[in-house]
Amino acid sequence: MCNWADNAPRNRALRRLARALAGSALLCLGGLAAAGPPASPGLGRPVPPELIRAWDIDIGPDGSGLPPGSGTAAQGEPVFQAKCASCHGEFGEGVGRFPPLVDDGTPLTAERPRKTVGNYWPHATTLWDYINRAMPFGNAQSLTADEVYALVAYILSMNEIIDEDQEMNAQTLPKVKMPNRDGFITATGSDIRAPACMHDCVAQVRITSRAGRYKREQAAK
Ligand code: HEC
């Protein structure tokens, strides 16, 4: 429709019409240009860096993302007693159903392993990330960076992973080797493949265990 005006008609009225159409041809071109993919949908607003920083709080195993600051177990103890012990116990032993934070020596290979920061977590930096992100439960992200370093130092020292007077900061924390650091494997092997049985499958499925069996056995002892 846009190139109608190219066929210059002889009749004056038609010429006028052609000129008018030539104008609309320009509009058509303009329309074509505007029909290309828009640079942006024109919604929202640019995200200010401080908003991105508020979300971008993950700490890598190598310590990437750790902020400046520092703390020792001695500084962490009063914070822990004030803000954490009501749920995790004065010695990190766990109150009621709240998780313990200190290893009591139960081996991970026990029938009922007791997984804690101390005997299970592979990276010390995860402790910083987790406490900073999620604790104290119900008042998450209320701690300063120094408080988090101090709490991490206190929990690591209660687990006898670092010395009482060892300062935790962005340089020292990633160097802490957790006892179970080499206890994890990359799960790409046969244990995560579950090929469906297509022939000669078991005739009858027998249930060998049910949740709660352990508890009943313990109760009967
Ligand atoms: C009101 C109770 C409560 C308080 C107070 C609290 N926590 Fe927790 N904490 C929890 C609960 C519940 C979980 C388990 C959360 C989950 O698994 O989703 C947890 C989990 C944790 C874990 C991970 C344990 C694991 O092995 O998975 C750490 C570390 C921790 N808390 C540290 C702290 C620290 C440090 C403080 C004090 C600043 C604190 N918590 C205060 C209830 C609490």
pLDDT tens, 194-220? 678 888 888 888 887 777 777 777 788
> What is the token pair recorded at 110?
């026990």
Residue 42 confidence (pLDDT)? 85
Determine the pLDDT at residue 199.
85
pLDDT at residue 8, rounded to an integer: 47
Q: Per residue in 172-191, pLDDT tens?
A: 999 999 999 999 987 776 56
Low-confidence ranges of the chain (pLDDT < 50): 1-8, 25-32
Q: Model-level pTM greater than 0.75?
A: no
Contact assessment for residue 118 and residue 103, using Cβ atoms and an 8 Å cutoff: yes
For residue 145, give both structure tokens: 């960076």
Please work out whether the CB of residue 117 comes within 6 Å of at least one atom of ligand 1.
yes
Confidence at residue 212, expressed as pLDDT on a 0 to 100 scale? 76
Question: Does the beta carbon of 21 lie inside 6 Å of ligand 1?
Answer: no
Ligand 1: centre distance to CA 126 (Å) = 13
H helix runs in the chain, sequence order: 12-34, 49-55, 73-83, 85-88, 124-134, 145-158, 213-220
Whether 101 lines ligand 1, by a CB cut-off of 6 Å, is yes
Per-residue pLDDT at 34: 56
The response to whether residue 137 sits with its C-beta less than 6 Å from ligand 1 reads yes
Enumerate domains of the chain plus CATH numbers: 4-34 (no CATH), 53-175 (1.10.760.10)
CA-wise closest residue to 80 among 143, 162, 161: 143
Rounded to the nearest whole angstrom, what is the distance from the C-alpha of residue 98 to the centroid of ligand 1? Answer: 7
For residues 155 and 132, the answer to whether their CB atoms sit within 8 Å is: no
User: 100: which 2 tokens?
Assistant: 């313990």
pLDDT score of 2: 42
